[in-house]
Amino acid sequence: MMSGDDLRAGLERLVLKNSRLELEAVADEQELNFDLGFDSHALLNLLLDIEDEYKIEVPPEKIPDLIGKPFGVLVDLVRQSVESK
């Protein structure tokens, strides 16, 4: 089973890859849209990468829950999905 630190580091890598901004690191409290530069297209690409990387499916009804939310919420959502598979 993956540790919480490994999961967070992997998600940070994917966020940095998909962000429209030139970022070097991500803090849990940084908001996906405003602080990290994610529009709906970039967020969808991020979620597709997450699904591929972690072999999970992010339920479509959860996507609106991520808009305007901090990175930490994304980490928690993915952690729950990984643990329940």
CATH of the domain at 44: 1.10.1200.10
Give the pLDDT of residue 20.
Answer: 86
Q: What are phi and psi of 57, to 5 degrees?
A: -125, 125
Residue 2: is its pLDDT beyond 80?
A: no
Give the pLDDT of residue 40.
Answer: 85
| 45 contacts 24 by C-beta, under 8 angstroms | no
Return the SS3 of 67: coil
Q: What are phi and psi of 70, to 5 degrees?
A: -75, 165
pTM: 0.90
Q: List the domain range (segments joined by +) for residue 16.
A: 4-83
Residue 10: is its pLDDT beyond 90?
A: yes
Angle at 29 between CA 54 and CA 63, to 5 degrees: 45
Domain count of the fold of the chain? 1
Give the pLDDT of residue 1.
Answer: 62
pLDDT tens by residue, 32-80? 999 999 988 899 999 999 999 999 998 888 888 888 899 999 999 999 9
